Amino acid sequence: MPPLPDKSTPTPWSTSFITRLHRYKALLMRRWWIPVLTICLGLFVEAFLIYQTPPSFLSTSKMMLAGKLNIAQGAIYSEDQMNFYGTQIQLMQSADVRQGAEALVRSTHPELAPVHVDLNVLQRPRTSIFELQAVGSEPNYTQAYLNAVMQKYLDFKKGMRSEQGHTVVTGITEQLIQTEKDLRTAEDEMLEFQKQNNIGFIQEEGNSAAAFLVKLNRDFAALKTEYDLLNLLDLDQNLDRQGGKLDMAGSTENAGNDDNKGLAFSDVGPEGDYLKAKQQVQLLKAQRDLLAKDLRPKHPKILKLNDEITQQEQLIKLFRQDTVEKLETRRKSIGKQMENLQSNIKEWEAKALDLSQRLGQFNRIKSKVDRLKTLYDRLTQNLKDIDVSQVVDSGDQVSIMEMAGVPKSVRPGLIKSLLIGLGAGALAGIGILVLLDRIDDRMASFGEFQHHFAENVLGQIPREKTKGKVSLLQPDDARHIFAESYRNVRSSIFFMPVEGPRPKTFLITSAVPNEGKSTVSANLAITMALSGAKTLLIDGDLRRGALREAFGINSRIGFSEVLKQEVNWKEVVVPTSCPNLFLLPRGKTIAQPSEHLLRDSTETILREIYSHYDYILIDSSPVLAADDTTSLAPKIDATLFVVRLAYTSARLTRKSLELLYNRQVNVPGVILNFVDTSLPEYYYYQYAEYYNTPVAEEPTPAPQPERAGHAQRS
């Protein structure tokens, strides 16, 4: 059997919950008649109340949602189509409609006495039909009231439509008057602006100013580029650049383009002289180099060329100075042109900005006038649509399909009342069962025992599903789980942590009778004997002990005669069918067993028996039934306390343990009997197939040696 759960480990809430449900299930199986009785009582009370209630009368009628007429202008009054039916049902049952119906019945049928009428409105599934039901104690008034409700509902709908239409007309008219005033003001403002400004001229002038401003910016950019190049490049670089422009301009038809105006270079003036002098120097140097190959440096021709080169270099310096001055003059001229262009650009930018602002202001005024005209036209059209809708009602119409029928006698709420009685009775029964469960402190599982007690649990004996008494264990018992649970108890006793000598004598008792202590004593003794220990089982219940019948022994004398010192204990000890197990029967009953158990002779007898056996088990009477156990237990090494689950009261168990503790009795642990293994905390019992006896395999026959003659023939 698996080891017991550790007390320090909390029980999972799911296991605790299922255990609690199992407890309620067992309680319901025992007390099923309580909820049945309360349900019957609840149904009887509701039936009696229904019978005492005077009969009522039911009148029904129908209303239908008519089709919708679509016109070009559209409906001015409409309702939410998604929630239309629910809204109409609530409107039919509203206080205004009901009060109006009561007043209409009083005015049209003064002879009818008013009574309370319950109104219920239903919508037929997948239809646009409303079914109205009126229930009252007076048939004629109920019928008249239902007709009045339908009429007042229609009047209320018409009033809502008319009131809504009037409200919309008033609002649109007020907005139309205000829009007309705003439109006139905006038109006057636009006319006044046109008088002060020539819009056509402003538009044309604005376009011209923009184009001219673009041209000025382009010219300024070209001059700025030229100005920057004159500052950055030296004389030769500028002359090369201008010479390149001149060549490019002279080779195309666009030589007179405005982009090159004032920038082209001509071959006259200081620039041309400077370049011609440089070319002449290069030519003379080339001639000198050519003659130097054949003539000496002092040759007259070489000297003449040197003089001419010196003269040309002097001219180059003069021409260079004149050219630099001319370029500086040109740079200053370009700067003045840029300043002039900047002033012109600022002037034309101001003009263009002013023209743009005036044109934008005119466009805003014109847009405002256009919006007001559009709004005015739309409001005028809406007002015309409302006039048409008031003549032709195109909205959803609810009309009377059937007038209120002749009332029929009914008992309203019969099913509801019976269900209330059923529910109330069931709740009352469940409440009584829960109350009984709270009062009942019997423990149904190991977890509940742990909740009430801190004592150590030596083992748990499962409940055997057999009728009558449970038979004793056999050496090869087929009840594997049942036998294994006793072996678990035996192991707990053998390996019990104790200080000093290990206990050999055990007294087995319980709180009240019928907890199975005698069965536990006998099976535990058998289990110990099967382990090889020489065991003596004493029937110490001198009032109702029955171990003699359980083991099938005929001896009529036993432990009671030993206590009276009428016979020696060795003469009445009887061997049993189980090896190593001996039984000391109860003997005859004694009127006052506790008086004999308290004598010194009893302690002497027990001390003498102690030395002859490995273990001695004494089946004693219940603690609360008599004083026998509390008188004998202090003389024994240890007392094992049996608790039958789902039977023993926690209150009685606690009182019994307190009595033992007060007598200085050693209680090393508790044995839980009659355990219900179907509870979730005993999940490990699903491994019962583990105890099945495996089928022995048939031995494989050994190969036979071949005969010599046969081998020769092969």
Mean pLDDT (whole number) for 355-381: 84
What pLDDT was estimated at residue 19?
65
DSSP-based three-state secondary structure for 125: coil
Q: Residue 117: beta bridge partners?
A: 136
Condensed to tens digits (0 to 9), the pLDDT of residues 262-278 reads 444 445 677 777 778 88
Are the C-beta atoms of 586 and 560 separated by less than 8 Å? Answer: yes
Does pLDDT of 390 surpass 70? Answer: no
Grade residue 688 by pLDDT with cuts at 50, 70 and 90.
low
Does pLDDT of 369 surpass 70? Answer: yes
What pLDDT was estimated at residue 7?
42
Mean pLDDT (whole number) for 194-218: 76
What pLDDT was estimated at residue 68?
52
- Alpha-carbon distances of 83 from 73, 88, 89, 90, rounded to whole Å: 24, 9, 10, 11
Pick 570 or 231 by higher pLDDT. Answer: 570
Cα–Cα distance for residue pair 366/193, rounded to 1 Å: 10
What pLDDT was estimated at residue 14?
60
pLDDT > 70 in the chain, percent: 82
What pLDDT was estimated at residue 434?
82
Report the range of poorest mean pLDDT among 71-85, 449-463, 532-546, 671-685: 71-85
What pLDDT was estimated at residue 669?
93
Condensed to tens digits (0 to 9), the pLDDT of residues 101-143 reads 999 999 988 888 888 888 889 888 888 888 988 888 888 898 8
- Angle of CA points 339, 343, 349, to nearest 5°: 140
What pLDDT was estimated at residue 318?
83
Region(s) of the chain under CATH 3.40.50.300 = 446-688
Mean pLDDT (whole number) for 200-220: 78
Grade residue 567 by pLDDT with cuts at 50, 70 and 90.
very high
Measured distance between the N- and C-terminal CA atoms of the chain, rounded to whole angstroms: 60
Does pLDDT of 41 surpass 80? Answer: yes
Does pLDDT of 73 surpass 70? Answer: no
Does pLDDT of 687 surpass 90? Answer: no
- Which range of 186-200, 358-372, 531-545 scores highest in mean pLDDT? It is 531-545
- Which range of 149-153, 203-207, 648-652, 664-668 scores highest in mean pLDDT? It is 664-668
What pLDDT was estimated at residue 635?
92
- Alpha-carbon distances of 598 from 373, 584, 638, rounded to whole Å: 123, 19, 17
Cα–Cα distance for residue pair 488/480, rounded to 1 Å: 12
What pLDDT was estimated at residue 660?
94
Number of neighbouring beta carbons within 10 Å of residue 362: 17
**Hey, what amino acid is at 438?**
R
Mean pLDDT (whole number) for 687-702: 50
Report the range of poorest mean pLDDT among 27-31, 187-191, 596-600: 27-31
What pLDDT was estimated at residue 389?
59
Are the C-beta atoms of 588 and 625 separated by less than 8 Å? Answer: no
Grade residue 156 by pLDDT with cuts at 50, 70 and 90.
confident
Helix axes 414-439, 33-52, angle to 10 degrees: 150
Report the range of poorest mean pLDDT among 43-52, 329-338, 340-349, 638-647: 43-52
Closest alpha carbon to 268 in 227, 310, 322 = 322
- Give exposure, 652-675, as e/b (b: 16+ Cβ within 10 Å): bbeebbebbeeeebbbbbbbbbbb
Are the C-beta atoms of 517 and 642 separated by less than 8 Å? Answer: yes
Predicted TM-score of the model (pTM): 0.47
Pick 476 or 17 by higher pLDDT. Answer: 476
Pick 654 or 171 by higher pLDDT. Answer: 654
Condensed to tens digits (0 to 9), the pLDDT of residues 629-647 reads 999 999 999 999 999 988 8
Number of neighbouring beta carbons within 10 Å of residue 550: 22
Grade residue 6 by pLDDT with cuts at 50, 70 and 90.
very low
- Alpha-carbon distances of 511 from 3, 462, 660, rounded to whole Å: 26, 19, 10
Closest alpha carbon to 405 in 59, 647, 640 = 59
Does pLDDT of 69 surpass 80? Answer: no
Grade residue 279 by pLDDT with cuts at 50, 70 and 90.
confident
What is the token pair recorded at 654? 């606690």
Average pLDDT of the chain to the nearest whole number: 80
Mean pLDDT (whole number) for 216-223: 87
Cα–Cα distance for residue pair 441/449, rounded to 1 Å: 10
What pLDDT was estimated at residue 508?
95
CATH superfamily of 446-688: P-loop containing nucleotide triphosphate hydrolases (3.40.50.300)
What pLDDT was estimated at residue 526?
94
Q: DSSP assignment of 450-464, as one string? A: HHH--PPEEEEEEPP
What pLDDT was estimated at residue 263?
42
Does pLDDT of 81 surpass 60? Answer: no
Mean pLDDT (whole number) for 504-512: 94
Q: What are phi and psi of 110, to 5 degrees?
A: -65, -20
Does pLDDT of 678 surpass 90? Answer: no
Condensed to tens digits (0 to 9), the pLDDT of residues 400-415 reads 888 888 888 777 667 8
What is the token pair recorded at 176? 């139309």
pLDDT > 90 in the chain, percent: 19
Pick 271 or 306 by higher pLDDT. Answer: 306
What pLDDT was estimated at residue 584?
93
What pLDDT was estimated at residue 656?
94
Cα–Cα distance for residue pair 43/424, rounded to 1 Å: 9
Are the C-beta atoms of 202 and 355 separated by less than 8 Å? Answer: yes
